[in-house]
């Protein structure tokens, strides 16, 4: 194990699978004590076990970040279990597909509640402790979809991910004087359970659109988040880091020949 986060306590929301799980494992391997936060208790505890077997330390907290009471309890659980709270990775998110013409108000509201309001709640709940410590690192998991690119069926998702970046810039300004930085990672197509559910043909076509020729892995996002959560990034706030294998670069498919 390395020690870039030795002695730090991190919350990673939506960390029972996918990108969040990858981030949690990277953080634990770097010495952080990690609170795994998710709605799926069985999957969350499985991640805790995996981290423990690898020599790290983690605990599970069941929470729905779209509910303020859950977000507040999550922050309190981290302090109660580990004694402090240094890092928040607000990663929890959903991405059901629905074209605008057929999208219902309920579908729109659900994605906004989890992805955008959930970010607000998680950050607000954790900031109070970080402010008292005069130290904190907040990393948001946004996406290239919304801030940079678009994809049919993901208008509601893209709106939340773009909204997160507007939120982070104001948060970075408000929190800077208290020793708390706020930054974001923008993943492209990462090999997760959720992406796999879109089908093998989708994965094949996505790989063809990525200059490095393959999908990213959750740990790739984890290492980017690790930098933003580390002491090395102390002079960086309000910024974004794209992790996409160069996917947003080509002007057309001809550029990949």
- Please give the positions annotated as active site: 157
CA atoms within 13 Å, Cβ hemisphere of 87: 33
Backbone angles phi, psi at 152, to 5 degrees: -55, 135
Look up residue 61 and give its two tokens: 């907290």
Look up residue 155 and give its two tokens: 């208008």
Beta bridge partners of residue 21, listed in sequence order: none
d(CA 226, CA 246): 20
Query: 154 Cβ partners below 8 Å, 6+ apart?
Result: 95, 97, 145, 146
Task: Say how far residue 237 (Cα) sits from the centre of its chain.
Answer: 16
Look up residue 244 and give its two tokens: 């996409």
d(CA 241, CA 10): 20
Note whether 27 and 1 are within 8 A (CB): no
Query: In the β-sheet with 240-243, what is the strand arrangement from edge to edge?
Result: 57-62, 33-38, 9-13, 87-90, 136-141, 180-187, 240-243
């Amino acid at each position: 194990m390395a020690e870039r986060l030795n002695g730090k306590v991190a919350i990673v929301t939506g960390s029972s699978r996918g990108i969040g799980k990858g981030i949690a494992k990277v953080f634990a391997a770097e010495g952080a004590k990690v609170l795994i936060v998710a709605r799926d208790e069985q999957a969350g505890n499985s991640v805790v076990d995996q981290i423990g077997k690898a020599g790290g330390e983690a605990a599970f907290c069941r929470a729905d970040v779209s509910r303020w009471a859950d977000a507040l309890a999550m922050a309190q659980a981290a302090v109660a279990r580990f004694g402090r709270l240094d890092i928040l990775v607000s990663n929890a998110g959903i991405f059901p597909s629905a074209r605008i013409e057929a999208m219902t108000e309920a579908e729109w509201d659900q994605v906004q509640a989890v992805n955008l309001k959930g970010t607000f709640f998680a950050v607000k709940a954790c900031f109070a402790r970080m402010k008292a410590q005069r130290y904190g690192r907040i990393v948001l998991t946004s996406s290239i979809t919304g801030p940079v690119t678009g994809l049919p069926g993901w208008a509601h998702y893209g709106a939340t991910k773009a909204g997160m970046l507007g939120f982070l810039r104001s948060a970075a300004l408000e929190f800077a004087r208290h020793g708390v930085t706020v930054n974001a990672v923008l993943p492209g197509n990462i090999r997760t359970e959720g992406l796999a559910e879109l089908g093998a043909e989708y994965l094949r076509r996505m790989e063809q659109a990525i200059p490095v020729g393959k999908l990213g892995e959750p740990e790739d996002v984890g290492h980017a988040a690790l930098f933003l959560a580390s002491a090395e990034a102390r002079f960086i706030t309000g910024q974004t880091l794209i992790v996409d294998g160069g996917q947003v670069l080509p002007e057309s498919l001809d550029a990949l020949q």
